[in-house]
Amino acid sequence: MSYQLSIDNAELKYGALTAVSGLSLDLNKGEIACLLGPSGCGKSSLQRAIAGFEPISSGKIALAGQIVSRPGFTLNPERRHVGMVFQDFALFPHLSVENNIGFGLRKLSKDERKQRISAMLTMVGLEKYARKFPHELSGGQQQRIALARAIAPKPDILLLDEPFSSLDTALREALAKDVRVLLKDHNITAIFVTHDQQEAFAIADKVGVMNSGKLLQWDTPYQLYHKPKNRFVANFIGEGHVVNARLNDKGQLENGLGIITEANGWETGRDYGVLLRPDDLVFNPESPLKLRIKDKLFRGAEYLYQLALTDDQYILCVTPSHVDFAIGDTLSVSVDLQHVVIFSNDDIQG
């Protein structure tokens, strides 16, 4: 079977600057993906390449089984059947809501057009606003019209560039959920770009973490959090900290915490990085392991403690909110590792 979107070893350059390199990914019809990464990581450039606004210098991009980009050939955006939703919504200010939605439907007959527009308005729950102009709508309403406009021509793929970031937080979460339901109901393939991991986890079936133009991991949200493939992803996704530990001759990883875990298949006598999430340490007054509190952060329902190890490293620990100790005190904890993520120290950058 063919993928709805297939990117094979794509590279994108702005002059001497390489924005995306060696990137491959596949997306099935109806899947929702999210590109996640710090600003400047190339996620927006990739989206622009998929939309046809940027040419690629090597590799290829295929949409619905047709090659749309390869070196020397870039099918124009208007011929690609992609829909786009922008951060600023980009509604045409001189057109009414219905004309905005109908903008991409010029090839339909008048009746079909009308039907599609009203279907779209119903879909986003704004039937009453057909005759209004964009400036008369609230931010959330504009967002939904932008979505309706992009979906109306039934694109092969929908690209959303930070679609919620100009909305306030409360609205953002509600809308993100709605949008996921809507896309799933209509079996629409979509790629989001965002820097907000909560948003990515809430919406996406697959998440791609990018840094410096490279796709570091392409996985489900669960796998990303629990099985990061390298240090960058480990540090970028969720809270947590990679600490150094030495593999002793019994095949156990050991550092200031004591023996952390058994680790087979690694080289003894060398240092490795171990990912420790705050929930891997549990507050336990009976535990013999006592660590000095370096810093603490009150987060309402919980405390986040920064605990010092003997060898100048630190780890994070989440405790219930009433476990209140002063900085400088010691906290008794026990290690509760469900699974362990180990990195070799050659993999510094990730």
Partner 1 sequence: MEITQRAKLSLFSWRIYNARWLAVITVVAIILWLPLFIIIASLGQPFSDNFQHIANTVLPDYLSNSLILMLGVALGTFVLGTSAAWLTTMCSFPGRRLFEWALLLPMAMPAYIIAYTYTGMLDFAGPLQTFLRETFAWRYGDYWFPEIRSIGGAICMLSLVLYPYVYLIVRAAFLNQSHALLEVSRSLGNGPWRTLFFVAIPAARPAIVAGMTLALMETLADYGTVQYFGISTFTTGIFRTWFGLGDLNTAAQLSSMLLFFVAALIVIERHSRSHMRFHNTTLQKTHLPRIPLTGTNAFFAVLWCCVPLGFGFILPATQLLAWALETWQTALDWSFAKLVFNSFSLAAIASIVCLFLAVLVCFAQRIMHKSKWASLALRAATLGYAVPGTVIAVGVLIPFAAFDNGLDRWLVKNFSVSSGLLLSGTLIAAVFAYVVRFFSVSVQTLESGYAKIYPSIDHSARTLGMRPHKVLCKIHLPMLKTSLVAALLLVFVDVLKELPTTLILRPFNFNTLAVRAYELASDERLIDASSSALAIVLVGLLPVLLLSRAMNQQTKP
Nearer to partner 1, 75 or 335 (CB): 75
Q: Which of 37, 42, 59, 83 binds partner 1 (CB under 8 A)?
A: 83
Residues 21-80 that bind partner 1 (CB under 8 A): 51-53, 55, 65-67, 70, 72-80
Between residues 27 and 243, which has the closer beta carbon with respect to partner 1? 27
Radius of gyration of the CA atoms of the chain, in A: 24
Q: What is the DSSP letter of 97?
A: H
**Pairing between strand 290-298 and 281-283?**
unpaired
Q: Give the shortest CB-119-to-partner 1 separation in angstroms.
A: 17
Site residues (CB under 8 A) for partner 1, limited to 309-328: none
Nearest to 274 by CA among 347, 343, 216, 346: 343
For residue 25, the minimal CB distance to partner 1 (Å) is: 20
Per CB under 8 A, which region of 29-37, 144-152, 179-187, 257-265 contacts partner 1? 144-152
Nearest to 125 by CA among 105, 103, 141: 141
82 scored as a contact of partner 1 (CB under 8 A): yes
108 lies in the site for partner 1, by CB under 8 A: no
Contact between 92 and partner 1 (CB under 8 A)? Answer: yes
- Provide the 3-class DSSP secondary structure of residue 53: coil
Q: Are 281 and 331 in contact (CB under 8 A)?
A: no
Q: Nearest approach, Cβ of 43 to partner 1 (angstroms)?
A: 16
Q: Which strand (E) or helix (H) includes residue 68?
A: strand 66-70
CA 293 to chain centre: 32
Choose, by CB under 8 A, the member of 37, 59, 104, 213 that binds partner 1: 104
Q: Minimum CB separation from partner 1 for residue 155, in Å?
A: 8
Alpha carbon distance 223, 240 (integer Å): 15
Tell whether residue 150 is a contact of partner 1 (CB under 8 A).
yes
Regarding 221 and contact with partner 1 (CB under 8 A), the answer is no
Q: Which is nearer to partner 1, 53 or 222 (CB)?
A: 53
Binding residue for partner 1, selected from 103, 133, 283, 314, defined by CB under 8 A: 103
Can you state the angle between helices 110-123 and 139-151, rounded to 10 degrees? 140
DSSP secondary structure, 158-225, as one string: EEEESTTTTS-HHHHHHHHHHHHHHHHHTT--EEEEES-HHHHHHH-SEEEEEETTEEEEEE-HHHHH
Which of 107, 96, 170 has the alpha carbon at shortest distance from 140? 170
Whichever of 149 and 206 has its CB closer to partner 1, that residue is: 149
Measured at the CA of 210, the angle between CA 207 and CA 214, to 5 degrees, comes to 125
Least Cβ distance, residue 278 to partner 1 (angstroms): 37
Residue of 1, 39, 106, 250 interacting with partner 1 (CB under 8 A): 106
Q: Where are the alpha helices (DSSP H) in the chain?
A: 43-51, 97-101, 110-123, 139-151, 169-185, 197-203, 221-226, 231-236
DSSP 8-state secondary structure symbol assigned to residue 251? S
Q: Does 149 bind partner 1 (CB under 8 A)?
A: yes
Residue 74 makes CB contacts below 8 A (sequence gap 6+) with 52, 54, 55, 56, 68
Task: Considering only the stretches 29-37, 143-151, 172-180, 309-317, report the one whose residues sit in contact with partner 1 under the rule CB under 8 A.
Answer: 143-151
- Residue number with CB closer to partner 1 (149 or 277): 149
Q: Determine if 3 is a binding residue for partner 1 (CB under 8 A).
A: no
> Looking at 3, 8, 13, 86, which residue binds partner 1 (CB under 8 A)?
86
**For partner 1, the closer CB: 148 or 341:** 148
Contact footprint for partner 1 (CB under 8 A): 14, 51-53, 55, 65-67, 70, 72-80, 82-84, 86-90, 92-94, 103-104, 106-107, 146, 149-150, 153, 155, 159, 161
